[in-house]
Structure 1
């Protein structure tokens, strides 16, 4: 945790950001391999969007807030800042948003296949619900800051 705390302090001092503006510390995906691959895409500026299942009980991302992205070893990789946040049914996510997620061949077909599987597992295991095309998701775009 000291690496994360030091990273946070350094970032806040370097960018004159109040630590309260750091919304969260997280890793993308459900395992360390996914976290490594996705954090690398973010760090290289390829991944500039993400989608998650909307959880009424969870915290909503906020435009303008910062987050520390971790790799598969729970080490800080970079900081991102939320630019847009939208809630919509899964079936309404655009091909443009899928492309911005930067994964695979960046096609809508690839994105949809991977995310349907991911969200079905998440809904079943974590949210005790069933994933459908009408399940609401949170679509975020972000920018790598540091």
Structure 2
């Protein structure tokens, strides 16, 4: 983590009495600057309180209680979140409620499925995971923005 992110995290922890050793990661949502900015803004405004990602069995799943700094498209910190629920399941089992809490677009399930299907299909190809199917495992996380 760079100096600016370290300072952001240290200041955040000092203000809230949180152990500064608890930060697990800093990341931006999406795969481009515009998407990262839009999604970071939704998190910061409390609209986006969930996310879904491809499950990679080579990587540990983010635990409940994990803190993360959400970055905008230029890598600047926007806010801090903490995981409250983490589940691994086939894509076809992601609920309408979870899709709604992702806070994107008009928040309907059909649009969420279409957008995520397209995104995950590209990601699976780029990462060499093979074809994305309805049985592909995903990680569903529900989080809270820490005020």
TM-score, normalising length: structure 2: 0.96
1:59 Cα offset (Å): 2.7
**Separation in 2, partners of 1:136, 1:128:** 11
1:95 Cα offset (Å): 0.4
Question: Which runs of at least 4 in structure 1 moved beyond 6 Å after TM superposition?
Answer: none
TM-score, normalising length: structure 1: 0.97
* Alignment-derived partner of residue 16 in structure 1: 17
**Separation in 2, partners of 1:8, 1:59:** 22
* 1:1-146 correspondence to structure 2 within 5 Å: 1-146=2-147
1:140 Cα offset (Å): 0.4
SS of the residue aligned with 2:85? strand
Unaligned runs of 5+ in 2: none
1:19 Cα offset (Å): 2.3
Unaligned runs of 5+ in 1: none
**Separation in 2, partners of 1:108, 1:10:** 38
Backbone CA RMSD of aligned residues: 0.9
SS of the residue aligned with 2:61? coil
1:87 Cα offset (Å): 0.5
